[in-house]
Amino acid sequence: MRSTISGYTRLPKAHKLSAVGIAAAGAAVLTFAVVPNAFAASSDTQSVAVKPVAWSTTASDDSGETQQAEHAGVALAKADAEAAKTKTERGTQAASRSEERKPVQAAPAPAKAYGDNLDGWINQALDIMQAKGIPGSYDGLKRNIMRESTGNPQAINNWDSNAVAGIPSKGLLQIIDPTFKAFHVEGTSWDIYDPVANIVASCNYAAKTYGSMDNVNSAY
């Protein structure tokens, strides 16, 4: 039987138990509905928290491998550079050694020495004549020199027809100034009293007139 006290309804014991049961069941349902979501969120949160750690570890390993690869690449590049430098240095050294082994060129032969005497003058004149294609022999030159001046390079004829004409014969082979100048040979002195220049010019004239000084046996 229901009774009322101070404005509220009082439930019988049986009804109280029923209400408690209903409340408990509702709480269970509510918990079941809420907790799985919370558990899932918690699981997801833990999963998110763990994943960066796992990823971080992997990234660290990859970074280490990348750094090792970079170090290996740098070392390889340095090795290649050193090898190229060594090769270049060896090539330079080989070229240097090759230059050092080049045969030494022989020094030019010293100028031929000639005696300052009749023999030396004739021999020097003959070498010049050979280079210039002027004929003559040692014997032919000496024979005519001895007849014309007796070997005196300063000899001068002041009595013959040339002297009378004002152009005396001069030098070893007694040649006059106009003839000396006309038949002067390049490379010799322009001094008519120079023994070598006198011989070469006289022989050049004799070659044009007589074929060779060797063919002259008297005054010419």
For residue 8, the SS3 value is strand
Where is average pLDDT lowest: 35-44, 55-64, 182-191?
35-44
pLDDT per residue as tens digits for the range 128-173: 999 999 999 999 999 999 999 999 999 999 999 999 999 999 999 9
**Amino acid symbol at 167:** I
Cβ-based neighbours of 192, under 8 Å, separated by 6 or more? 170, 171, 175, 177, 180, 198
pLDDT in tens, 40-84: 444 444 444 444 444 444 444 555 555 666 666 667 777 777 777
**Mean pLDDT calculated for residue range 181-191:** 97
Burial environment of residue 216 by CB neighbours within 10 A (0 to 12, 13 to 18, 19 or more): buried
Q: Is 3 helix (H, G, I), strand (E, B) or coil?
A: strand
Map out the domains of the chain as residue ranges.
10-100, 118-215
- Give 218's DSSP letter: S
pLDDT, mean of residues 8-33 = 44
At residue 51, the pLDDT reads 46
| pLDDT of res. 118 | 98
Checking if the pLDDT of 26 tops 80, the result is no
Both tokens assigned to 48:
């998110």
Cα(142)–Cα(181) distance, integer angstroms? 22
Angle between helices 138-149 and 195-210 (to 10 degrees): 110
Tens-digit pLDDT profile for residues 126-139: 999 999 999 999 99
DSSP one-letter code for 213: G
Q: What's the pLDDT at 146?
A: 97
Predicted TM-score of the model (pTM): 0.53
CATH of 118-215, one of 3.20.20.70, 1.10.530.10, 3.30.300.130, 3.30.420.40: 1.10.530.10
Of the pLDDT bands very low, low, confident and very high (cuts 50, 70, 90), residue 106 is low
